Amino acid sequence: MSPLQDTYRHQGQRRALARELRRRGIHDERVLQAIATVPRHLFFAPAFEAHAYQDKAFPIGEGQTISQPYTVAYQTQLLNLKPTDRVLEVGTGSGYQCAVLLQLTPHVDSIEFNEVLFTRTRQLLASLGAGGAGLYCGDGSVGLPDRAPFDAILVTAGAPGLPPALLRQLRVGGRLVIPVGGSQTQRMVRVTREGAEAFVREEFEDFRFVPLLGVGGWRS
């Protein structure tokens, strides 16, 4: 079988995964539809494909992981995306979350710190026909000042606090969704910019992420 093949069996597994996420409380139909659409198994090495439709994180090399589908859906739902929104994802990793975001808006930028993952994922997304995102290699904890402002910023690694550069790069009305906490667990936080200097912070469930590195993360 070609490594890029998507079969009826995969499609059925995706629909079952979307149903499982609905049972767990994901209610945004567009997010559930995106989960049911994006072929997650194609973001796995062929030998590990059997793990793709379990609701679990999985290693992708370089000490990093593809996030659990529940986490991807949860963060995406918190972003409240409109089709015209401009989004920045910090932590491209496997590219799966990026592909999910592209189902909701065509205006996605994503930045990855690790050069090996960046190069691999750029090729993969292009081969999947999901090359519409702007992909960057660098320290996303300082955002992408040249591309700002954003309507939504999604951080897919755990931060010790709110990176000031990411707050500055939000448009008024924009949302930053970021896991914040210590090395063991992080609380999902959404910060909405309500004015030039006005930010509203909401806290949600606890998760466990790999660390956000860089100037606004755990080390520079």
User: Would you please indicate which residues are annotated as catalytic (active-site) residues?
Assistant: 67
Q: What is the contact mask toward ligand SAM in residues 52 to 81, using x (rule: CB under 6 A)?
A: ------------xxxx--------------
Find the shortest distance in angstroms from Cβ 5 to ligand SAM.
21
Residue of 7, 23, 14, 216 lying closest to 100 (CA atoms) = 14
What is residue 169's DSSP assignment?
A: T
Residues 6+ apart with CB under 8 A from 26: 32, 35, 70, 73, 74, 77
Site for ligand SAM in 88-127 (CB under 6 A): 90-91, 93-94, 96-97, 111-114, 117
The answer to whether the bond into 179 is cis (omega within 30° of 0) is: no
**Assigned token pair, 85:** 């929104």
Binding segment for ligand SAM (CB under 6 A), chosen from 9-17, 27-35, 137-145, 196-204, is 137-145
Residue 166 lies near ligand SAM (rule: CB under 6 A): no
Find the shortest distance in angstroms from Cβ 216 to ligand SAM.
7
The answer to whether 166 and 153 have CB atoms below 8 angstroms apart is yes
CA angle in degrees (0–180, nearest 5) for 35-201-73: 5
- Binder to ligand SAM among 143, 174, 181, 214 (CB under 6 A)? 214
Q: Which is nearer to ligand SAM, 100 or 191 (CB)?
A: 100
The answer to whether 174 and 195 have CB atoms below 8 angstroms apart is no
- Footprint on this chain of ligand SAM (rule: CB under 6 A): 64-67, 90-91, 93-94, 96-97, 111-114, 117, 139-141, 156-157, 209-210, 212-214, 217
